[in-house]
A and B are shown apart, each in its own frame.
Chain A
């Protein structure tokens, strides 16, 4: 057998071992789940030998049995986004908790639960659920997303028709050390509408999440996510977003701790003059592996995209960035930017980066860069010579390093909460 065919057979075999009966549901979702299961079975499970998983070992993400991770005591920090008026939807161990949540009502938005919608025979989400996952399987396969689409029973379905006065806040809590969570959210932002989606907290010991976002002409989605402090948690997340003309996406992810995190994003700029900004800040000390795998496709002229990913690593922590800007031949006047940088606080930390540009149009502006380095000794000396103690000077320099990613958050007050988290982490890991 050819090696490629052999790998495929191994992947399919592994995938088959994980197949179980599909959840019960109405006609629309059953169709989507069956199609997703077929994709999963055909593509096979991700294996370490996949080019796309070269820097991150997926085995733990698909290992059988319930994963366990000790729940981190976070009482030393004020709850995230506490000062902000928002609609709170609480998930405990990946399951919606109605009693702890606000009413699913907000002017300008329709908010529903996947578990309720799945019972119906028809739902507006049918055009999106699993559709963007299927679209995201080329040019690279993302089988974990199809697995999620097939088996997820929890998530929110958000249809935005206006500009709601407050953000929708998904709060993830844990109650048990052992937990596996599959969450699947669908967001449709109608033409000209604008919404902010917040996600924070530790989802589960092991999680697999998918967000499918359809952002119509002139609509805007702000997405801010913080992935929780649990050291032993593992998770794969996927953001799939398609944007119409003049639509905007701004997504920021903060990754603090976690032994294995794979954050994938696939964005399609399908209409002229759209804009997509994807940013992330990760900090890890010791058993930490954070992988940002980001793919932005420019399929229309005049669009702008930015990928800004910063990682601070030490004591053997590993950071991965795989990023691509793909510019179709029709996407003239594309303005693309991609930067991935790691600050290695000691010699044990590691940063693996694979930045890519693939450009088929001739009138475009695309820049990319990737660096890894240590704290600048001259800057440190200058600050100390002005009386700033070494630890404080280092913290200022680390925050300065992360600032470019945080600057991608449009709302300064919300960004301030994330900055506080980073400062607190740096204080704890001096």
Chain B
């Protein structure tokens, strides 16, 4: 599904700042991978580079989604190809209604893929059902995108977008940050409901806690722009108990 090979990137404005330094990762359909790592290891940057945010210069390596070169595409083309990033900090857009935004996004992707656009009626039916599962009320759908939403509401809204867009490859960037226990459960249930044999997930997190709810198949430890260790779910527990120090020392040995 997602194949990243030897990815290097630096800041566009300052080529001295190198963030990713040879990152490789392969995620197969149906798999859930988690990336953990200390602050500043480049986890969020990886999600930005994959989704096409401005400001980063890829200097080496490749990233493909089902064999297609992601790095060559505009952000909207990556989305239409099936990539989705749940933002760590969902963006507020005053003046644009949440529902309007969702419908525009869904139909833009369908159009890009050569599919029929959803009628207003069909769309409404689907969105209401999915919103209900995430305990998103009608008022939240009507309000401007993320404006005045609590931290938990913003994250639920991200998952609603994901559910509506039905991507193939979902990247969750610290979706657990700013969530209380109940909200985390709700969000995790939303994610788990989307798990399927032809969809893959990359979960970026600091904490094992989220991985109790969204059980990963593979856990990677990232440091200084590279994956330094890969293992099963037990690796996340090891980090939870011992921190990163041992792993970093081991990698540097």
Q: Which residue of the partner chain A has the closest CB to B87?
A: A382
Question: A387 touching B80 by the CB < 8 A rule?
Answer: yes
For the complex, give the distance between the alpha carbons of A67 and B49 in Å.
56
Q: Given A388-B105, A392-B104, A381–B74 Cβ distance below 8 Å?
A: no
B54-A389 in contact (CB<8A): no
Q: Note all chain A residues with C-beta closer than 8 A to B106.
A: 387
- In this complex, the member of A393, A403, A404 whose beta carbon has the largest number of chain B beta carbons within 10 angstroms is A393
Asked if B79 and A384 make an inter-chain contact with CB atoms under 8 angstroms apart, the answer reads: yes
User: A residues within 8 A CB of B87?
Assistant: 382, 385
* A122–B90 alpha-carbon span in the complex (Å): 66
Digitize A403-415: 1 where CB-to-B-CB distance is under 8 Å, 0 elsewhere. Answer: 1100000000000
Q: A384-B76, A390-B76 are in contact. Are A377 and B108 (CB under 8 A)?
A: no
Please name all residues of chain B whose beta carbon is closer than 8 Å to the beta carbon of A393 when the two chains form the complex: 76
Partner among A379, A387, A389, A397 whose Cβ is within 8 Å of the Cβ of B165: A387
Which of B75, B92, B95, B165 contacts A384 (CB under 8 A)? B75
A381 lies within 8 A of B75 (CB): yes
Q: Which of B51, B80, B90 counts the most A-chain CB atoms under 10 A from its CB? A: B51
Cβ 8 A contact of B85, one of A378, A385, A389, A396: A385
B80 — which chain A residues lie within 8 A by C-beta? 387
Assess A386 versus B79: contact at CB under 8 Å? Given A399-B95, A404-B95: yes
Q: Which of B101-127 contact A (CB under 8 A)?
A: 101, 104-106, 108-109, 112
Is the C-beta of A383 less than 8 angstroms from some C-beta in chain B?
Answer: yes
Check B54 against A381 for contact (C-beta < 8 Å).
yes
Q: How far is the CA of A383 from the CA of B98 in the complex (A)?
A: 11
The chain A residue sitting closest to B85, CB to CB, is A385
Q: Using Cβ atoms and an 8 Å threshold, which residues of chain B touch A396?
A: 96, 100-101, 104
How far apart are the CA atoms of A104 and B163 in the complex, in Å? Answer: 57
**In the assembled complex, A53 has its CB within 8 A of some CB on chain B:** no
Q: Does A176 contact B (CB under 8 A)?
A: no
Q: Which residues of B contact A337 (CB under 8 A)?
A: none
CA–CA, A403 to B100, complex, Å? 14
B94–A400 touching, CB < 8 Å: yes
Q: Does B245 contact A (CB under 8 A)?
A: no
- In the docked arrangement, what's the CA distance between A382 and B53, Å? 9
The answer to whether A425 has its CB under 8 Å from any CB of chain B is no
Q: Which of A385, A389, A393, A403 has the most CB of B within 10 A?
A: A385
Question: Within 8 Å CB of A386, what residues of B?
Answer: 79, 101, 105, 161, 165
CA distance A198 to B3 in the complex (A): 60
Give the CA-CA distance A16 to B94 in the complex, in Å: 52
Give min CB distance, B51 to chain A, whole Å: 5
Which residue of chain A has the shortest Cβ distance to B106 in the bound complex? A387
Specify which chain A residues have a CB less than 8 angstroms from the CB of B76 in the assembled complex: 384-385, 387-390, 393
Task: Tell me which of B54, B74, B85, B161 contacts A377 (CB under 8 A).
Answer: B54
Select which of B93, B100, B108, B161 is within 8 A of A389 by beta carbon: B108
Q: How far is the CA of A384 from the CA of B54 in the complex (A)?
A: 11
- The residue in chain B whose Cβ has the minimal distance to the Cβ of A398 is B95
A81 contacts partner chain B, Cβ-Cβ < 8 Å:
no
User: Whole-angstrom distance between the alpha carbons of A10 and B5 in the complex?
Assistant: 76
- Closest chain A CB from B101 CB (angstroms): 7
Q: Which residue on chain A has the smallest CB distance to residue B81? A: A387
Q: A260 to B10: give the CA distance in the assembly, Å.
A: 47
Cβ-defined contact, A385 with B104, below 8 A: no
Complex Cα–Cα for A385 and B81 (A): 11
Alpha-carbon distance A393/B78, docked complex (angstroms): 15
| A interface residue numbers (CB < 8 A to B) | 377-379, 381-390, 392-393, 396-397, 399-401, 403-404
Closest A-B pairs by Cβ, 6 of them:
A400-B95, A387-B79, A382-B91, A384-B75, A387-B109, A386-B105
10 residue pairs of the A-B complex, CB under 8 angstroms, read A378-B91, A384-B75, A385-B85, A386-B101, A388-B108, A389-B112, A396-B96, A397-B95, A397-B96, A403-B95
